[in-house]
Amino acid sequence: MSAALTPEVVLQAYRMGVFPMAAQRDDPRLYWFDPEDRGILPLRGFHLSRSLRRRFRAPGLRATLNADFSGVMAGCARRRETWINAEIVRLFMELNAQGHAHSLEVWEGDALAGGVYGLAIGGVFCGESMFSNRRDGSKLALAWLVAHLDACGFVLFDTQYLTDHLASLGGVAIPRATYHARLRQALGVDADILRRPLPAAYEVVQFNTQTS
């Protein structure tokens, strides 16, 4: 895949249900993927455990949107093995600057506890990656994001693949054809991640308790 790949091409690929990944951090090439089984995280089916509810009561816990997009990407890429190479970083930094890619950060005081980033198109949010600096940081970020996406009119949260971690939080896998049909419907939905302010911690717990 050419290094001249543009954000516009990436957006069109996501509209078609296809997304790019690198084989590893140091490989400059990107490859297109359209999995036979697609992971999604139902917006009204997040599994909020009792221990995670308690974490939401931590002093100084708060969330922000797009406050540290580059920091979230760096946190996601910090693993020993990652598909996030320099080209992915370049493209998503541009997509963030254009208002298409977004990050949600969770803070404990002034410390970044975790976060998640992805791409918003119509009524679908295409989750790319998440990370934790502190215990349950990525789980807190996902729970916060699910509640916020629902409030902002989104109808589909694409996670690309279903991992054990996502399955434990309510994620499921659906066939490619089913995903593409739901994607087409979601693209016509008028959603905006900036439509409403982020919910407070207690509102996230309330939402995910009522809908799980």
Tens digits of per-residue pLDDT, 103-142?
A: 999 999 999 999 999 999 999 999 999 999 999 999 999 9
Tens digits of per-residue pLDDT, 90-100?
A: 999 999 999 99
pTM for the model stands at: 0.95
Query: pLDDT (tens digit, 0 to 9) for every residue of the chain, 212 residues total?
Result: 445 799 999 999 999 999 999 999 999 999 999 999 999 999 999 999 999 999 999 999 999 999 999 999 999 999 888 999 999 999 999 999 999 999 999 999 999 999 999 999 999 999 999 999 999 999 999 999 999 999 999 999 999 999 999 999 999 999 999 999 999 999 999 999 999 999 999 999 999 999 87
Nearest to 129, CA basis, from 21, 17, 26, 10: 21
Phi, psi dihedrals of residue 163, rounded to the nearest 5°: -100, 165
| Predicted pLDDT of residue 42 | 97
CA dihedral 191, 178, 30, 41 (to 10 degrees): 60
| Predicted pLDDT of residue 79 | 87
- The DSSP-derived string for the chain is --TT--HHHHHHHHHTT-EEE-SSTT----EEE--SEEEE--TT-----HHHHHHTTSTTEEEEESSSHHHHHHHHTTSSS-S--HHHHHHHHHHHHTTSEEEEEEEETTEEEEEEEEEEETTEEEEEEEEESSTTHHHHHHHHHHHHHHHTT--EEEEES--HHHHHTT-EEEEHHHHHHHHHHHHTS---TTSSPPPPHHHHHHHHHHH-
Nearest to 107, CA basis, from 61, 69, 71: 61
| Predicted pLDDT of residue 212 | 77
Domain assignments of the chain as residue spans, ordered by start: 37-80+99-211
* Two tokens, residue 51: 């221990």
Answer yes or no: CATH 3.40.630.70 is held by domain 37-80+99-211: yes
